[in-house]
Amino acid sequence: MKLIIAVIQPEELPAIKEELLKREIYKFTVSNAKGQGKEIPVQEVYRGISYEISLLKKVRLEIAVNNKYVDAVIEAITTVAKKDGDKGRGKIFILPIEECIRIRTGETGSDAIG
């Protein structure tokens, strides 16, 4: 069992979601995040004063899967996110999961994740 955490650009979320569903990965959590990467900071102007935004809006994806699905998840994210080679495409982290419990039934381990 692995927990995959990916920080991606918000505009890539719909396409990544589609790719995940295509690979039969139906369960994931999405949250808004702010982060600083290597991309060029965004310039905005308000009432004549321009300023730099270095903390940019990101999306954080959390996907818990059985081991055989890990490659599929990585593929789903990278087919969308790596396309133009710009900086700031995000990162994927893979962590082991100690235990997983489905609250409704009390199932544990691999059965609970699937």
Partner 1 sequence: MNNKIIFSIAFFLSMGSIALANEDLTSAHVLFTVNNIWILVSAFLVFIMHLGFAALESGLTQAKNTVNILFKNVSIVAIGILTYALCGFNIMYPGEFNGFLGFSGWGIASPPGNAGLIDYANGAYTYFTDFIFQAMFAATAATIVSGAVAERIKLSSFLIFSTLYVAFIYPVTGSWKWGGGWLDQMGFYDFAGSTLVHSVGGWAALVGAYLLGPRLGKYGKNGYMKPILGHNMPLASIGVFLLWFGWYGFNGGSVLSADPGSISLVFVTTTLSAAAGVIGAMITSWFMSKKPDLSMILNGSLAGLVGITAGADVISPISSVIVGFVSGIIVVLSVIQLDKLKIDDPVGAISVHLVCGIWGTLAVGLFTEVSTVMIQCKGIIICGIFCFISATIIFLSIKGMLGLRVSEEEEILGLDIGEHDMESYAGFQIFTVE
> Is 36 or 108 the residue whose CB approaches partner 1 more closely?
36
> Is 51 or 93 the residue whose CB approaches partner 1 more closely?
51
Single-letter code of the amino acid located at 88: G
Q: Which residues bind partner 1 (CB under 8 A)?
A: 32, 34, 45-51, 55
CA distance 95 to 17: 21
> Is 41 or 79 the residue whose CB approaches partner 1 more closely?
41
**C-alpha dist (Å) from residue 60 to 1, 75, 102:** 19, 17, 22
Shortest spacing between CB 50 and partner 1, in angstroms: 7
